[in-house]
Each structure stands twice: as structure tokens, then as C-alpha cells.
Homo-oligomer: A and B are copies of this chain.
Amino acid sequence: MQRMSRRADFPTIVQSGTEIRQQVRLFQQRGDRVGMVPTMGSLHDGHLSLVDAARAECDVVMTSVFVNPTQFAPHEDYQRYPRDLERDVELLAERGCDYVFAPSVDEMYPSGYETSIDVGSVAKPFEGEQRPTHFAGVATVVLKLLNLVPADAVYFGQKDYQQTLVVERMIADLNVPIDVVVCPTVREADGLAMSSRNAYLSDADRHRATALYASLQQTKQLVTQGERRTAELRRAMRQHLSQTGIEIDYIAMVAAGTVDEVDTVDGPTVALIAAQVGQTRLIDNIQIG
């Protein structure tokens, strides 16, 4: 099987859905495994770790860069969400990404567009409660992107825990033929989970924000020390954060792989937190049991 020359210094940038799909099919016809990393751009080491994972497991790596309007509520930060395609492409080149799919909003949502996907109960609590239209927007755009870039594997970060469950549910329920790979959360040196929204933080808020991961770590330690009652663990997290000026949206302990809250930690359990730090809403999670 003859291989196309794929690796260049810079990835090929494609804006047309029809073109990128043809490209994917060509690679697959040659027997290549295609990996896809959906992003909203403004790339950080979290995204790039997904590209690394795809690079390690696939013959061809494609990254989509699309700030998806339908997953933002009207009052949210769609307009000010950071965008810098040129820098993103440079970072992707360094990691050996082969293609960047960067469609316009008109390409993705032409006039008349109305369809949306409801994945049911996994999308309802936590982020779904705080952001009622968010996961329909996520599920729908991910399905659209996977129909345009029909890759063999798609990569997501564990930082967006509930999002990974929503995507997995949608892909299973709709029989989308793709492997979902979830990669570990990448953190700053002081533990803050990497997020494009960290760029919004003032210096003071950036310092405050470290308390999120610290509170999760403390929870894990309490579990190790024998505290299994999640009411106690949540109380300890609230106390830990009470002096920081951080406003908690929710704290929850769920059975791993679900959004089902548990009373005691007696199996694989994930602690979730969402909070306002100054003007910025951040989320994080770790496995605590």
C-alpha cells in the first residue's frame, strides 16, 4: 500500500466540510487510521496532549478548530471567547498534526438549520442544570463534526467529565462508528486544570483558582484516610473554599462513568466541582475512590 506524504512543517488547513471528508475517506481507503481532536481553538497543553495521544495511535491526525455558538447561552462568553487560529496552527504543527479543519459558522450552520440532539438524563444535572442548552449544542456539533471528519477515533479530555459522558452516550445511541478516547486532565504546575478560560483570570483570581484542585486533592486524601461519607466530603470541600472568595456552583460525588450521586465512596467515584472565580466560571474533577 503506497502512502501519501502527509507530514509537512505545517498542517493543511481546510475550511470546507466536503473537502475534509474526502480527505479522510482517501486516507481510510489506504488503510490509514484517522484520529480527530475537536477543539474550540485557543489551544493549551490540554488540547495538545489529545493531539499527542492521537499522534501516537493514528496514522493521520486532524484537529478541528471551531468556536461553536450553539453551546453558549446568550449571556455567556461566545463573543469574547479567545480566538487565534494562527497561533493554534503553529502549536499544532509542533505536535505533528496533519490537518486543521476550521469551518466558518455559515459552513456549520447554514440558514434554515434547526436540528438538535438531546442525549437524555446524562445531560440533565450539574452543567446541564447550570447551562440548560449547553449539552444539546455540544452533542449536535460533535455529531456534525464527526460526519464531516468521519475519523476512526475521537479524543476528549477528562477535565470535561460530563461532556465525555454526553458524547459517549450520543455516539453509542446513534451508532456512530468511532472509538472515543478520553485522556487525563492536564494541569498547570500549581494544579489548576488547563482551560482556555483561564486566560480570563486576573492575577488575584488566577491565584484563588488553585483552591479548586487543592480542595479536590484534599477530598481524595480524606477518602484515603477513611472518610467515605460524601456529605462529609462535600462539607469539607465547602469549608476548604469558604475563605477564598470562590463562589461554588456545585460540588458532587458521582459513581465513575455516570452522573449518579453516591452517598458513600465504595467504588470508583469522581468528585466534580464548578465555581465562579471572579467573572470566570471554571470546572474540574478528579477520581477520589
Contacts and interface: CB of A to CB of B under 8 A. Distances in A.
Given A143-B174, A174-B140, A122 B114 contact: yes
Interface in A88-145: 110, 112-122, 139-140, 143-144
B115 A177 contact: no
A199 interface: no
A115 B147 contact: no
A176 interface: yes
Nearest to A29: B29
Contact of A114 (B110, B115, B120, B144): B120
Interface residues of A, number: 30
Nearest to A107: B175
A118 B115 contact: yes
A203 interface: no
A121 B120 CA distance: 21
Given A29-B29, A118-B118, A113 B173 contact: yes
Interface of A: 17, 21, 29, 110, 112-122, 139-140, 143-144, 147-148, 150, 169-170, 172-177
